[in-house]
Amino acid sequence: MRTRKATNRHEAYLRLVEYHIGLAVDAGFCRARIEDDELTGDLITLDGSEVANFGLCSYMGLALDERVKQGAIEAIQRYGSVYSSSAVYTSVGLFNDLEDRLRQIFESPVSIAATTTLAHLSVLPMVITPDDRILIDVQTHATVHMAVEILKAKGHTPVLLPHNDMEALERAVEQAAIDARRVWYLADGVYSMYGDVAPVAEIAEIQARHESMWVYYDDAHGLGWQGAKGRGHVLGQIPMNDRMIVAASMSKGFGAGGAVVVMPNEELVRRLHVTGTTFTFSGPMYPAEVGAAVAAADIFLSPEHEQMRIRMQEQIDLIRRLVTEHQLPVMSLATSPIWFVRLGSPDSVIELGRRMHADGFYVNPSAFPAVPVRYSGVRFTNTLYHTDEQITGLIESLARHVPDLVVDHDQAVQLPR
């Protein structure tokens, strides 16, 4: 009977996911294949229509930069399309070039992973021991929760904390520290759906008050567009400390591929390389990804990056001003390039997607399980590919259509008039 109930719950969950995502798939907004032979960054063709693409996470617009593309091309010419060996045995020397540059960016020991997901799956089971306790922000990325599932199988019982609730965090740390060797807090730097950010300075203050507290950040969406040399939201706000680990993706703001793990010391890096399961039994970054990342890192280490960062901030300020003027029900006004307009109904989301497409814009329809059931909405991102005119046009289109499609917005952010 118990097994049957669990099976029924599993089937009900799958049906709920299939319903919500299936609506967007059937409408052509999810699992869609673009029809362009070449990309310009700002525009794509869907269903025969050219639309401004506000669904990309290539925040700094580097994926199509000629220097980054040339870095990838030269790497393939030198090393082939793939170097098919586990990195535990051998890897191409280009990794040395990338590691050297990443150490300059972060001014800390680093390790390179094929993806942020694979980094989580190795790092967290390695550093969290049976005597530790796990606290995790409820909105932390699904891939971090995936790694926590491994720890649950080993006997851990993670405590889910209300989103960005610092009082709840400190109470939980105090309680867990009574009988734990260490207390781990897992959070995102920039939250990928609503675009709000972790209050890293406050978290650092709590950590300073509790010697047993460690912090693990997934800053996948913060890397590149924020912080000196593009080191991200977390390390752009606070310095690295000896009880903190930051994992970040190079496939978004960095414009390349792979991931980087910033560690407090070289000993942990060595242990990760020797004992991390995905560092042994998974494939490495492809040569093209490494070559592109080296070229991107050179840009971040140059004076050019600061001008790119300023331009990104100008875009964010423009959007903040426009969504406030138009009273759009966005979930956050945080300084990030991710925006979420809550509608409350998946049917409204699909209708808004259709209207936006007709106006010449593509946005990401977002529903369960990416967000809670009643929080369906549209997510859009700004990148350096976009012009101010495109951004203004997008917001004006949203302002025309959103008011008569919102079903339940009383819990969304109430903007000042």
Average the pLDDT over 255-274 and give the result: 96
Q: Do residues 193 and 108 both lie within one domain?
A: yes
**CATH classification at residue 140:** 3.40.640.10
| Beta-carbon contacts of residue 411 (< 8 Å; ≥ 6 apart) | 342
Instruction: Say if residue 417's pLDDT is above 50.
Output: no
Which of 300, 334, 355 is the last residue in one of the domains? 300
**Which amino acid would we find at residue 277?**
T
Identify whether residues 223 and 337 lie together within a single domain.
no
Burial classification of residue 230, based on how many CB atoms lie within 10 Å of its CB (0-12 exposed, 13-18 middle, 19 or more buried): buried
For the CA atoms of 352, 354, 357, 361, the dihedral, rounded to the nearest 10 degrees, stands at 20
Same domain, 157 and 279: yes
Residue 72 belongs to some domain of the structure = yes
In a domain, residue 270? The reply is yes
Domain assignment present for 407: no
Let me know if residue 7 belongs to a domain.
Answer: no
Residues 266 and 341 in one domain: no
Residue 265 DSSP class:
S
272 and 208, same structural domain? yes
Is 167 contained in some domain? yes
Could you tell me whether strands 338-342 and 159-161 are parallel, antiparallel, or unpaired per DSSP bridges?
unpaired
Predicted pLDDT of residue 411: 44
**Stretch 387-396: mean pLDDT:** 98
The owner of tokens 């319903």 is 19
pLDDT exceeds cutoff 90 at 259:
yes
- Type and span of the H or E element at 46: strand 43-46
pLDDT at 304 over 90: yes
Q: Of 244, 279, 300, which marks where a domain is finished?
A: 300
Mean per-residue pLDDT over the chain, rounded: 94
- Is 411 inside any structural domain? no
| Domain containing residue 20: CATH number | 3.90.1150.10
3-state SS, residue 297: helix
Q: What whole-number distance in Å separates Cα of residue 173 and Cα of residue 182?
A: 9
Residue 407's pLDDT is 87
Q: In this structure, are 112 and 256 located in the same domain?
A: yes
Confidence at residue 133, expressed as pLDDT on a 0 to 100 scale: 97
Distance CA 260, CA 110 (A): 7
**221 and 275 inside one domain:** yes
Does some domain include residue 197? Answer: yes
99 lies in the same domain as 230: yes
Clarify whether residues 127 and 165 are in a common domain.
yes
Question: In 3-state terms, what secondary structure has residue 37?
Answer: coil
pLDDT band at 2 (very low <50, low <70, confident <90, very high): low
Which tens digits make up the pLDDT trace of 76-86?
999 999 999 99
Q: Which domain holds residue 36?
A: 16-53+303-401
Give the whole-angstrom CA distance, residue 184 versus residue 177: 10
- Give me the number of domains the chain comprises: 2
Is 28 found in the same domain as 108?
A: no
Is 6 within the bounds of a domain? no
Q: What confidence tens digit (pLDDT) does each residue in 270-299 have? A: 999 999 999 999 888 999 999 999 999 999
320 and 277 co-located in one domain:
no
| Final residue belonging to a domain, choices 300, 328, 347 | 300
pLDDT of residue 1 exceeding 90 = no
Q: Are residues 149 and 111 in the same domain?
A: yes
| pLDDT over threshold 70, residue 408 | no
pLDDT at 228 over 80: yes
The proportion of the chain whose per-residue pLDDT surpasses 70, expressed as a percent, equals 97
